[in-house]
A and B are shown apart, each in its own frame.
Chain A
Amino acid sequence: MSYDAHFRVWRGDDEKGELVDYPVAVNEGEVVLDIIHRLQQTQAQDLAVRWNCKAGKCGSCSVEINGKPRLACMTRMSTFTEEEVITVTPLRTFPVIRDLVTDVSFNYTKAREIPSFAPPPDVEPGDYRMQQVDVERSQEFRKCIECFLCQNTCHVVRDHEENKENFAGPRYLMRVAELDMHPLDAADRKEAAQEEHGLGYCNITKCCTEVCPEHIKITDNALIPLKERVVDRKYDPVVWLGKKIFKRAGA
């Protein structure tokens, strides 16, 4: 059940690069990462690729396979025909370090910009009480493995370097939504989501949901509800009128 596949892998560094063609053996049951490793062993010793668990749980081996953002370890070779040319390129949104390895520090910067979980000041640690049903909603977002495929595919930053400063990306807007839905989080996340993390840039094309290897419904369950909460505050005519009349601060 072995055959020779035609791989086309992007080789290069932060300055220049090109697609290089490789004929490479494929055995039954293998995934794209196995083939990349075979390339390293047999033809391209210095082919750089970031990987760890080979089980789709560490989120390290994010690459673009035939233009689609995928985890290399979870993309089965059996999903391609034997004649198909398989093109593997690095994530386009982030700067290339070498070959398939990109510098994803944009994501870490964005992660640090979100204030962490903030319980009400009068609740001591150990006195946190909440109902299971209230936390269930945000549990889905905890499945995130931080592979950054959603951050990579999001058109707001994919081809718009200038938006990177003002937009946190789906993964981190989801984080804001998660904290906002948390029954014990007392911080106001709604204004920050819109003003600081750029929620308004998102126009719910659901590309992030489509590429998520954990099948988190990022758009439907995190971003849209967060948008609704923001709108509820920001554009509610009654709240607006109330603010005008009573000069209520902070509403």
Chain B
Amino acid sequence: MRPAVLIDEVTKAQERALLPYSSATEGGENPFVVQLELQKTMNELVGIIRKSEEMEQALKALQEIATKARTVTVEGGRAFNPGWHLALDLRNMLLVSLCVAKAALERQESRGGHTRDDFPVMDSDWRHQLLVLSANGEDDVHLVRQEQVPMRPELLDLFELDELKKYYTGEELGGHRAGEAAK
């Protein structure tokens, strides 16, 4: 059965999308200015090498940007209007920025593309920690820690123990064939 369209939801989404055109946001922010500010904040404070103070500062700045993003206003018509498109995209950009900043602050280690100046080494205890972020309204995200599902033993056995030791903690290596053979 095809799911029915919820007319109320459609109307709500429509109203939200048209908000930058309504008089409620008269004299509001230019979406391009807000985007530039967001880019600058994320580039400077949640960049390649990260520090906790900087990320805390970024989260504060993001709150301010969120307030501005809510009142963006656009000019011109609705046909192929990049200003309006950006106004719509800004919400998602903001949510993603919040997720990145919040998760980066939480993860106290360096791993892959995430490099922390205050925690410069990779920590095996963090390997099995997932940080799940979900949107809580338009300008807030909620962080939950979740355990990674352990690798199945037959798959774990496909790797050499020495290789696994670089990434795994002692406990997780318990079931490896090399350990069993030594018994």
Could you list which residues of chain A lie within 8 angstroms of chain B, going by C-beta atoms? 13, 40-42, 45-49, 97-99, 101
Name the B residues within 8 Å of A98 (CB-CB): 77, 79-81
Is B74's CB within 8 Å of the partner chain A?
yes
A42 to B83, CA, bound (A): 11
From the candidates B79, B80, B83, name the one contacting A45 in the complex (CB within 8 A). Answer: B83
For the complex formed, measure the closest distance between the CB of A105 and the CB atoms of chain B, giving whole angstroms: 15
For the complex formed, measure the closest distance between the CB of A234 and the CB atoms of chain B, giving whole angstroms: 45
The residue among B30, B77, B79, B84 with the most chain A CB atoms within 10 A of its own CB is B79
A101 to B82, CA, bound (A): 11
Name the B residues within 8 Å of A13 (CB-CB): 79
Once the chains bind, are A45 and B36 in contact (CB under 8 Å)? no
A46 to B36, CA, bound (A): 17
Residue of B nearest to A98 (CB): B80
Could you list which residues of chain B lie within 8 angstroms of chain A, going by C-beta atoms? 30-33, 36, 74-77, 79-84
A47 to B36, CA, bound (A): 18
Residue of B nearest to A45 (CB): B83
A40 to B31, CA, bound (A): 10
Residue of A nearest to B35 (CB): A41
A40 to B76, CA, bound (A): 12
The residue among A41, A42, A46, A49 with the most chain B CB atoms within 10 A of its own CB is A46
From the candidates A41, A49, A99, name the one contacting B32 in the complex (CB within 8 A). Answer: A41
The residue among B74, B80, B81, B84 with the most chain A CB atoms within 10 A of its own CB is B80
Residue of A nearest to B33 (CB): A41
Once the chains bind, are A40 and B32 in contact (CB under 8 Å)? yes
A47 to B75, CA, bound (A): 10
A98 to B80, CA, bound (A): 7
For the complex formed, measure the closest distance between the CB of B35 and the CB atoms of chain A, giving whole angstroms: 8
Residue of A nearest to B77 (CB): A46
Contact (A40, B80) CB under 8 Å given A45-B30, A45-B32, A45-B75: no
For the complex formed, measure the closest distance between the CB of A22 and the CB atoms of chain B, giving whole angstroms: 15
Name the B residues within 8 Å of A40 (CB-CB): 32, 82-83
Contact (A41, B36) CB under 8 Å given A46-B74, A46-B84: yes
A47 to B80, CA, bound (A): 9
Once the chains bind, are A97 and B80 in contact (CB under 8 Å)? yes
For the complex formed, measure the closest distance between the CB of A45 and the CB atoms of chain B, giving whole angstroms: 3
Name the B residues within 8 Å of A49 (CB-CB): 82
For the complex formed, measure the closest distance between the CB of A208 and the CB atoms of chain B, giving whole angstroms: 27
Once the chains bind, are B32 and A97 in contact (CB under 8 Å)? no
For the complex formed, measure the closest distance between the CB of A241 and the CB atoms of chain B, giving whole angstroms: 58
Name the A residues within 8 Å of B79 (CB-CB): 13, 48, 97-98
Once the chains bind, are B30 and A48 in contact (CB under 8 Å)? no
A215 to B83, CA, bound (A): 34
Name the A residues within 8 Å of B81 (CB-CB): 45-46, 48, 98
For the complex formed, measure the closest distance between the CB of B86 and the CB atoms of chain A, giving whole angstroms: 9
Name the B residues within 8 Å of A41 (CB-CB): 30, 32-33, 36
Name the B residues within 8 Å of A45 (CB-CB): 30-32, 74-76, 81-83
> What 4 pairs across the A-B complex have the smallest Cβ distances?
A46-B76, A45-B83, A41-B32, A48-B80
Residue of A nearest to B76 (CB): A46
A155 to B67, CA, bound (A): 52
If A40-B83, A98-B77 are given as contacts, then 11 extra A-B residue pairs at C-beta distance below 8 Å, sorted by A number, are A40-B32, A41-B33, A45-B30, A45-B32, A45-B74, A46-B74, A46-B75, A46-B83, A48-B79, A48-B82, A98-B79
Residue of B nearest to A40 (CB): B82
Name the A residues within 8 Å of B74 (CB-CB): 45-46
Residue of B nearest to A51 (CB): B82
A40 to B79, CA, bound (A): 15
Name the A residues within 8 Å of B36 (CB-CB): 41
A46 to B30, CA, bound (A): 11
A173 to B32, CA, bound (A): 42
